[in-house]
Amino acid sequence: MLTKVVLASCVVLWISSCAVNSAEDLMTRALRLMSETPLIDGHNDLPWQFRKQFNNELNKVDLHTLSTTHTNIPKIKEGRLSAQFWSAYVPCDTQYKDAVRQTLEQIDVVHRMCEKYPETFMFASSSKEIRDAFAMNKVASLIGVEGGHSIDSSLGTLRTMYQLGVRYLTLTHSCNTPWADNWLVDTGSEPSEHNGLSLFGKQLILEMNRLGMLIDLAHVTVTVMNQVLDMSQAPVIFSHSSAYGVCPHKRNVPDEVLKRVREKKGVVMVNFYNDYVTCSKTANLSDVADHFDYIKKVAGADIIGFVLVIPDVSKVPNLVVELLRRGWTDEEVKAALGNNLLRVFEGVERVRDNLKGLKPDDVPIAYEDVQNPCRTSYGYTDDAGAVRSVSALTLLLTLALQMLVH
Amino acid sequence: MLTKVVLASCVVLWISSCAVNSAEDLMTRALRLMSETPLIDGHNDLPWQFRKQFNNELNKVDLHTLSTTHTNIPKIKEGRLSAQFWSAYVPCDTQYKDAVRQTLEQIDVVHRMCEKYPETFMFASSSKEIRDAFAMNKVASLIGVEGGHSIDSSLGTLRTMYQLGVRYLTLTHSCNTPWADNWLVDTGSEPSEHNGLSLFGKQLILEMNRLGMLIDLAHVTVTVMNQVLDMSQAPVIFSHSSAYGVCPHKRNVPDEVLKRVVKKKGVVMVNFYNDYVTCSKTANLSDVADHFDYIKKVAGADIIGFGGDYDGVTRLPEGLEDVSKVPNLVVELLRRGWTDEEVKAALGNNLLRVFEGVERVRNEHTQLNSAHVSGYAGSTIRLIPLLYLYDKYEIQVSSG
């Protein structure tokens, strides 16, 4: 009897030690993969926390010790984060008010963060710069503007933001713009205004292709997703959305769109927010991995990417371990870590290069689509200010000429 | 008798031919000087005309043949323009509305103009690039934002505009900002709100020094002029203002300020608008030259520049109706005895000196952390009672 107990204990110990060894192996393997391929995260709202907690007064922040956010420098290092699209986000109620100025400030705070911690961050605005930063063991820091309201229906504003280094625009946040419907329309809680994209919205897509600005379809309606997949010449991204087939939340991506993303060679970067992972207030790492597995099953591993925070950025290697444990190959993991996003980014840059001869789109949005008390109308005909006074002058001159003639 | 008549005619012909020759010599000399030193103009509102006439639809514009503006490409070439600060201007009634977005669009239209005519324009944002463009026979195209209302009291916005290539900010246009008084206050038609610059206004000056953004004092009150001359570590400009001593208009620069500009090694770029030249509706080229002479007399030729204000005003002097006519002004200065060096100083060397001075101050600051930069208007910390309805990524996830 004693022998059997001892034997049984040995077997149990041996099995658990194998398990421990396997877990260690998996973590070693995960960290190795993350040292070979950059982990590129599609969306992090630390800049918003800078505004919310510190009014963007970065001088009051020590990112080495900051403990009130999911992200700080030690956690970034532990999480092996190699590239980050920092979100330049401003809330929807700034629309028609000071959205543009606030967005510029969010763009500025990202630049200042990079200047303040140059040993950690390297500002980046191209696929090449992501690779360069990775080679230098720095976090490539890119910018995505989260919400079309930030450009105030202005292609000129889009272009200047591109010049400031912005490399994706999420077409809407959780509000309609004068040219695109947001995901809340799909929930039925808001009416559709544009049945997807308006004419100007479509102009915008083509201009983004011409510029080399990634089109981000997180937060839009399924109609917008499909319209963009119809017309975009470049691959597209979902910077932070998960699989509708696992959690039927309208912020998530339905199966037919996942397949279209694969055809377009785009990427869906899986969002870790509980409500989008389990459609409930709680979730765990395994639930997140279910989304990865599901998208891989429906559309393949080539369209998957990461968005972090579980509960903070330091824990990502654990997710990678889980994927390995579920049988993901090294190649599939590296695809999800960063190769997919790099492929998409290079595709967008290639389209931009091919479109080099194209002129910038300078047709403004129709005034009646954007009329509101905070918007002046200089330049539009039949509207306020100088144009009217020129017309009056013309009238006077015409009258004067007529008098001279007669 | 006949001999005397013939002799007299010969003398007259000879004298007039000398005069003609001298005039030709002066023009030849003017053009030579303009080929050796870039003509750098401080202020041109063509971008505003793009918006006003074409809603910034540049695809509808042919700058080779455009006839409804003071500025087009043939006129630029004839006028020997070598560098231009294009004005990114939006009217004062956009303040507290869409000033920022409209200013971005004006910045964008300048960039697009340069992309559209790359054989003529080269975008520039440094003294070196002005020289490079000149060497390549292109018009260095810089940007000045005309009016503090365009930055919506936001240092972050100032910094992003600097990143977009903007190299001067005119502190006000013709309206007060929440941090600076405009020239209308000096006319008595508006009350002072800040007695010059507020505390935030002074923060802005220091931040502009740190960034390397030229401070433009056209359109501000005399109090603001003096406060900036007190505190700026870098030289300053007046992008388009003339001499108060010739025409006592509140848009012009009084003598004591001219003398302070000399000490600061700044530059006053003379505005050609009739109302600021003769304080009346009409003027001629000679009246403009009077301003050049006056400033030279009061403060020296080292603080003078050209700031025509073409396409921003409707009344321009006889002889200077558009940008092609500027060499005639150079001829007049030479006729009045200006030396080659003095003319070249006014054409561009003074502005280049100022720009290099501003860049030097910026470089010295590069060591400084952006430590004293704050992102919010106001000298006190104001608690914003906003309720954020949601906290992004409030996650309770258990791992493993």
| B392 or A127, greater pLDDT | A127
pLDDT of residue B7: 83
Cβ atoms of residues B377 and B153 within 8 Å: yes
Residue B390 clears pLDDT 50, i.e. is over it: no
Cα–Cα distance for residue pair B22/B27, rounded to 1 Å: 9
Candidate from B56, B59, B100 with C-beta closest to A101? B100
Does B43 qualify as catalytic in the annotation?
yes
- Decide if pLDDT at A141 tops 90: yes
pLDDT band, very low/low/confident/very high, at A397 (cuts 50, 70, 90) = low
Phi-psi label, residue A227: left if phi above 0, alpha if psi -120 to 50, beta otherwise: alpha
Task: Please give the average per-residue pLDDT across B176-200, as a whole number.
Answer: 97
A157-171, A337-351, B4-18, B374-388: which has the minimum mean pLDDT? Answer: B374-388
Q: Which residues of chain A does B381 touch, with a Cβ-Cβ cutoff of 8 Å?
A: 55
**Judged by CB atoms within 8 Å, which residues 142-161 of A form the interface with B?**
152, 154, 156-157, 159-160
Q: What is the pLDDT of residue B173?
A: 98
Contact map slice: A 40-99 vs B, CB within 8 A: 45, 48, 52, 55-59, 70, 89, 91, 98
Q: Which of B149, B219, B249, B291 is catalytic?
A: B219
The answer to whether B328 touches B320, Cβ cutoff 8 Å, is: yes
CA distance A76 to A70: 9
- Pick among B151, B383, B395 to test the A interface (most A CBs inside 10 A): B395
Band (B4; pLDDT cuts 50, 70, 90): confident
Q: Which of A346-360, B22-36, B167-181, B337-351 has the lowest mean pLDDT?
A: B22-36
- Report residue B8's pLDDT band, with 50, 70 and 90 as the boundaries: confident
B21–chain A nearest CA distance, Å: 42
User: Does B392 contact chain A (CB < 8 Å)?
Assistant: yes
Q: How much is the average pLDDT of B89-106? A: 98
State yes or no: pLDDT of A111 exceeds 60: yes
Does residue B5 surpass a pLDDT of 90? no
Confidence of residue B194 (pLDDT cuts 50, 70, 90): very high
Question: Among all residues of chain B, which has the CA nearest to that of A388?
Answer: B52
User: pLDDT at residue B52 above 60?
Assistant: yes
Catalytic residue selected from B70, B173, B194, B249: B173
pLDDT at B171 over 90: yes
Residues 282-311 of B with CB under 8 A from A: none
Q: Would you state the pLDDT for residue A23?
A: 60
Within 210-269 of B, beta carbons closer than 8 Å to A belong to none
Tell me the ipTM for this assembly.
Answer: 0.89
C-beta atoms of A56 and B398 within 8 A: no
Which tokens in the block code for residue B324? 């092609």
- Burial class of residue B378 in the structure, from the number of CB atoms within 10 Å of its CB (0-12 exposed, 13-18 middle, 19+ buried): middle
| Mean confidence (pLDDT) of chain A | 92
Average pLDDT value for chain B: 91
Residue B336 to residue A281: CA distance in whole angstroms: 83
